[in-house]
């Protein structure tokens, strides 16, 4: 059976299941009111519950056990605090058979759980305190993806990127963790304009269930698919699976990513790099009714670059391909700060495709960060002979930041040698290869700074890439 036939069979099976189954700068960006007030905005992106929390729920949408694309999926829970956490993990698969397990995570400890077999399965993690970071980690022959769990559901979710071309599979996973039904509508912006197909209008998402929408059946053969999922009734969590099967040269891999629950006026991407074989794109989606004027500021490790100015039409998307921009030098690492200069909220993602002659391979689609924070956490991580782990820190402020890196090693905080009090200048970014400092199969990590920064973790196994913004810690 060919790979393409397998793909069709898998998608058909999901539908049969009831379909229950997209210049180095020295000016700082304006801090959001939440950051300026000393707290974190949980409506913008996943954020850990604070130490004062008596209980916390983390919603984890669409963990995959979808063969032949995923061989191993794990739910990782890290306790960054000094008190033990106990609670329950409730699994809600696409087939509707709910199950629960008790969980106990010691101080500064990590627990890895393997979910029950199911093509798609979501989970709610209920804990008796805060300071936890929870992530899915999915591994398969097409690559690896990590996806943070969120402490907040929303009535709208946005995806800037997506494709349903002949070599692609795209699905949207919708998780309703609540005891009442949710009713949702999907709409799309493609190269052919805006559409809201009747087939994905007024969809019911049952309580404690995961519903999967195969976009290849709805918006067929589109190179650009930006998606909005909006609730008529209820709140939910949504993620996107994007896969390319390799039949188009230079495009093979898997990305599993959480959507954005809000539009924003500022998006940070710490990592950026352009070399032969690696294609980097920034996707800026405007779901609103007014035109957005946007600047893409580049923070280069060497030299300076003028901002790229964009006009993003209502319900439209603009793509910046770094390889085609003369102002983005090849082989010079950079960060990007994408800002709406007229106050119209947008959604920004970065897509990286890697193939020969680049030293890495695979696909990574990463949602930017709307938050600057002093503390960041990661549940997944691995730095050994099989996985090359990098952590990239971006300082968008106007003063130097001093950063410490701490690995949680079997319940003990381990200060990473030579990665203490590291200075990152204003408007600069720095990347750190963890394999140069330690060799560990498990690298749950805390990054602390004396000034607000943005932190990204990138995992490069032998096949694929997993690139994700960290989870801010209160």
The total of structural domains in the chain comes to 2
Q: Contact 86/127 with Cβ under 8 angstroms? A: yes
What pLDDT does 41 receive? Answer: 62
Neighbours of 466 (CB within 10 A): 28
What pLDDT does 17 receive? Answer: 38
Domain boundary among 340, 367, 394: 367
Q: Are both 432 and 362 inside the same structural domain?
A: no
Q: Are both 276 and 397 inside the same structural domain?
A: no
What pLDDT does 370 receive? Answer: 97
Residue with tokens 């993990």: 89
Q: Contact 264/339 with Cβ under 8 angstroms? A: no
Q: Are both 416 and 346 inside the same structural domain?
A: no
Q: Is residue 214 part of a domain?
A: yes
Q: Are both 445 and 325 inside the same structural domain?
A: no
Q: Are both 311 and 403 inside the same structural domain?
A: no
Q: Are both 15 and 102 inside the same structural domain?
A: yes
pLDDT tens for each residue of 36-57: 333 456 678 999 999 999 999 9
Chain-centre distance of CA 329, in angstroms?
26
Q: Are both 355 and 394 inside the same structural domain?
A: no
Domain boundary among 335, 367, 399: 367
Q: Are both 398 and 327 inside the same structural domain?
A: no
Q: Which domain holds residue 459?
A: 382-472
- SS3 at position 459: strand
Q: Are both 414 and 279 inside the same structural domain?
A: no
Domain CATH for 436? 2.60.290
What pLDDT does 225 receive? Answer: 98
Q: Is residue 313 part of a domain?
A: yes
Sign for the CA dihedral angle at 444, 336, 431, 406 comes to negative
What pLDDT does 40 receive? Answer: 55
Q: Is residue 121 part of a domain?
A: yes
CA distances, 90 to each of 76, 80, 103, 258 (Å)? 14, 22, 10, 19
Q: Are both 142 and 270 inside the same structural domain?
A: yes
Q: Are both 344 and 423 inside the same structural domain?
A: no
Domain boundary among 312, 344, 367: 367
What pLDDT does 463 receive? Answer: 85
Write out residues in the chain with pLDDT < 50, as ranges. 1-39
Q: Are both 351 and 391 inside the same structural domain?
A: no
Q: Is residue 272 part of a domain?
A: yes
Give which of 269, 268, 272, 337 is closest to 301, Cα–Cα.
272
What pLDDT does 359 receive? Answer: 85
What pLDDT does 91 receive? Answer: 94
- What is d(CA 427, CA 55) in angstroms, rounded to the nearest whole number? 37
Q: Is residue 32 part of a domain?
A: no
Classify 119 in phi/psi space as left (phi over 0), alpha (psi -120 to 50) or beta: alpha
């Amino acid at each position: 059976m060919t790979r393409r036939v397998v793909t069709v069979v898998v998608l058909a099976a999901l539908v049969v299941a009831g379909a229950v189954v997209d210049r180095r700068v020295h000016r700082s960006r304006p801090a959001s009111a939440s950051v300026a007030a000393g707290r974190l905005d949980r409506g913008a992106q996943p954020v850990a519950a604070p130490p004062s929390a008596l209980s916390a729920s983390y919603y984890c949408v669409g963990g995959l056990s979808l063969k032949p694309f995923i061989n191993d999926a794990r739910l990782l829970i890290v306790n960054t605090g000094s008190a033990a956490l106990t609670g329950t993990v409730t699994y809600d698969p696409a087939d509707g058979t709910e199950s629960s397990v008790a969980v106990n995570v010691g101080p500064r400890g990590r627990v890895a759980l393997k979910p029950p077999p199911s093509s798609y399965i979501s989970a709610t993690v209920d804990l008796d305190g805060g300071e936890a970071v929870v992530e899915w980690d999915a591994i398969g022959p097409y690559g690896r993806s990590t996806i943070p769990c969120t402490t907040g559901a929303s009535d709208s979710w946005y995806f800037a990127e997506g494709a349903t071309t002949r070599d692609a599979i795209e699905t949207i996973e919708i998780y309703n963790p609540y005891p009442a039904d949710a009713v949702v509508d999907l709409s799309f912006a493609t190269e052919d304009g805006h559409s809201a197909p009747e087939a994905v209008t007024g969809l019911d998402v049952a309580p404690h269930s995961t519903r999967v929408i195969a976009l290849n059946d709805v918006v067929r053969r589109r190179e650009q698919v930006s998606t909005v999922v909006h609730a008529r009734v209820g709140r939910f969590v949504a993620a996107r699976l994007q896969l390319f099967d390799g039949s188009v040269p230079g495009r093979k891999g898997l990305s599993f990513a959480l959507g954005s629950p809000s539009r924003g006026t500022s998006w940070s991407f710490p990592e950026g790099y352009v070399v032969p074989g690696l294609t980097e794109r920034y996707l800026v989606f405007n779901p609103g009714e007014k035109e957005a004027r946007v600047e893409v500021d580049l923070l280069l490790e060497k030299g300076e670059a003028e901002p790229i100015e964009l006009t993003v039409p209502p319900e439209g998307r603009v793509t910046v391909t770094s390889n085609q921009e003369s102002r983005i030098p090849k082989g010079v690492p950079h960060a990007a700060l994408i800002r709406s200069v007229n106050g119209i909220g947008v959604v920004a993602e970065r897509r990286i495709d890697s193939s020969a002659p680049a030293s890495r391979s695979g696909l990574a689609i990463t949602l930017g960060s709307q938050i600057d924070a002093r503390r960041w956490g990661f549940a997944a991580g691995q730095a050994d002979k099989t996985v090359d782990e990098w952590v990239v820190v971006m300082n968008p402020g106007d003063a130097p930041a001093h950063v410490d890196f701490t690995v949680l090693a079997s319940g003990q905080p381990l200060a990473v040698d030579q990665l203490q009090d590291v200075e990152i200048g204003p408007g600069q970014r720095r990347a750190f290869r963890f394999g140069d400092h330690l060799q560990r199969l498990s690298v749950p990590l805390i990054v602390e700074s004396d000034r607000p920064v943005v932190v990204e973790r990138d995992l490069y196994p032998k096949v694929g890439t997993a690139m994700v913004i960290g989870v801010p810690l209160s």
